[in-house]
Amino acid sequence: MGNRPEELRALIDSVAKQDGDPVRIAVVGNGSPVPEVPEGVRTTELPENLGIPGGRNVGIEMFGPAGREVDILLFLDDDGLLARTDTAELCREAFTADPELGIVSFRIADPDTGETQRRHVPRLRASDPMRSSRVTTFLGGANAVRTRVFADAGLLPADFFYAHEETDLAWRALNAGWQIDYRSDMVLYHPTTAPSRHAVYHRMVARNRVWLARRNLPLPLVPVYLGVWLLLTLLRRPSGAALKAWFGGFKEGWTSSAGPRRPMKWRTVWRLTRLGRPPVI
């Protein structure tokens, strides 16, 4: 967004210090000017904010259609910082060792406390963030993706703008036969924040949840999935204003276009279930 130039420079420096072959870097000004960056960093400035998935899609294609100029793309929040210098090498080793591995989700840790928020562990059993495992989704601001995933499953859903775009891509990648890993040894330092700090949070979380189900789930699972999330939302007892925004987004998800519908195979539903997160929660 162009409002964190010092943090962005620190992130770029942490990428430049990675062991092994140099990592090529691209910065997208998502409706904002790009701050001054080191020589050799690719940049582009968009005339309007396309949202998180739209901006990342532009970044992907700065390395050719579907990113095909490179084998792996890292996505890092501009106020993050790679904690170690071996992260790029660990990514290379992971993707080389496992031809079915499509996406790696990093561990996000607070730079002051070292703690990882439970919501940043992309599985239901999230009590131990130091345990690496196969998972069914990933963290959008700290991950690595084999570019062949984009060729097979498509880019991020730009219309989502914010929220659940990672799960949409993850489900499509799993349906195409790829695997997703959460790696606790690949660490991005990032200040502890609450997602609800964004004014659009409740509306877009609800709208995109409906879109996610309509786009990707077999028809019998759509009402089950959305019914479970409706119940969970009510049990969390949000404020009246938050609940009003949530129901507004939920209605919008049904009355607006969700984009192309490509329901996952029942075999993929079973894979998700075996991985510990059936697509009803």
Give the separation between CA 162 and CA 170, rounded to whole angstroms: 15
Running DSSP on this structure, what letter comes out for residue 155? S
Neighbours of 85 (CB within 10 A): 14
pLDDT of residue 224: 98
Phi and psi angles of residue 107, each rounded to the nearest 5 degrees, phi first: -90, 130
pLDDT of residue 83: 97
Give the separation between CA 199 and CA 248, rounded to whole angstroms: 14
Specify whether the CB–CB gap between 17 and 86 falls below 8 A: no
Q: Read off the pTM.
A: 0.96
Structure tokens at 167: 């799960």
Give the separation between CA 52 and CA 124, rounded to whole angstroms: 24
Query: How does pLDDT run along the chain (281 residues), one tens digit per residue?
Result: 788 999 999 999 999 999 999 999 999 999 999 999 999 999 999 999 999 999 999 999 999 999 999 999 999 999 999 999 999 999 999 999 999 999 999 999 999 999 999 999 999 999 999 999 999 999 999 999 999 999 999 999 999 999 999 999 999 999 999 999 999 999 999 998 776 555 589 999 999 999 999 999 999 999 999 999 999 999 999 999 999 999 999 999 999 999 999 999 999 999 999 999 999 98
Give the separation between CA 65 and CA 143, rounded to whole angstroms: 20
Give the separation between CA 161 and CA 87, rounded to whole angstroms: 28
Give the separation between CA 194 and CA 206, rounded to whole angstroms: 17
Q: How far is CA 168 from the centre of its chain?
A: 9
pLDDT of residue 196: 55
pLDDT of residue 192: 86
